[in-house]
Amino acid sequence: MKIKKSKHVHHDRGYTPVVNCKLTSRRLVCGTETDIQGVAVAVAHPQKVDIEQMAHDISHATTATPTDVKLVWDALRTAITDALSHGYRVQLDGLGSLTMELSSHTGSTPPTGKDVKISGIRFRADKHLLDRLADVKFQVEGKVRQPLSAPELADALYEYFETHDDISVREFARISHYATSTSYQKLNDYVAHGEMERVPRVNGCFRPTKGNFGR
């Protein structure tokens, strides 16, 4: 397969892309007692690029057909899955690396091999990829939401637990407008004061104890 000389690769675009993003919350950087604050944002673009679109883009930039690209992608996907299943770290030069994330929720110490399950795949971006994206500009939309005060948070949790039995760290962060790390700290504070307890065998999930938050 040869690269067509008449085509430019995507990185040599000759313009600075602008990505629309939206404010999601105001986060506390150093914990619940700090005055240092920052704003959390997320990419707002609803469109995605799939292998079908990329196959046509690659076909225009090379001598490969879209079918060739998709066949290579199928083989690459199988090779990556096989490597991960053997516990290898998969290094994709110029992009980053993939590794399995494991966990055990049985409570046994130490866990047995049967207790360990895969919880996800971690992607660590390569510096080369980050450098190539360094010229991207962002346009931010939305209003900054202040973290809830203690009374406001108590009311919000009371309302939440009227229809839910437990709450995850991520959901708590969404409701309270705290960062994920601060939300985890706040939930552990509730546990320490006997107002909540951890849900057994479910990582990062909490529920109110009897008589708290209207339960």
Residue 7 has pLDDT above 50, yes or no: no
**Residue that wins the pLDDT comparison between 127 and 215:** 127
Q: What does CATH list as the number for 18-141?
A: 4.10.520.10
Q: Is the pLDDT reported for residue 51 higher than 50?
A: yes
The mean per-residue pLDDT over the stretch 4-21 comes to 61
- pTM across the whole model: 0.59
For the cut 70, the answer to whether the pLDDT of residue 114 exceeds it is yes
With a cut of 90, say whether residue 103 has pLDDT above it.
no
- CA–CA dist 64, 198 (Å, integer): 53
**Could you say which architecture CATH assigns to the domain 150-208?**
Orthogonal Bundle (1.10)
Helix axes 180-192, 169-176, angle to 10 degrees: 100
pLDDT at 186 over 60: yes
More confident residue, 111 or 121: 121
Collapsing DSSP to helix, strand or coil, 184 comes out as helix
Q: Which residues contact 75 (CB under 8 A, 6 or more apart)?
A: none
Q: How crowded is residue 41: how many other Cβ atoms within 10 Å of its Cβ?
A: 15
Q: For residue 116, what are its two tokens?
A: 């360990």
All structural domains of the chain with their residue ranges: 18-141, 150-208
Q: Which residues contact 189 (CB under 8 A, 6 or more apart)?
A: 32
Task: Give residue-wise pLDDT tens across range 164-182.
Answer: 989 999 899 888 888 788 8
Calpha distance 88→74 (Å, rounded): 19
The 205-208 sheet, strands edge to edge: 167-168, 205-208, 196-198
Q: What is the tens place of the pLDDT at every residue in 149-161?
A: 889 999 999 999 9
Q: For every residue of 65-89, which 3-state class applies, written as one string?
A: CHHHHHHHHHHHHHHHHHHHHCCCC
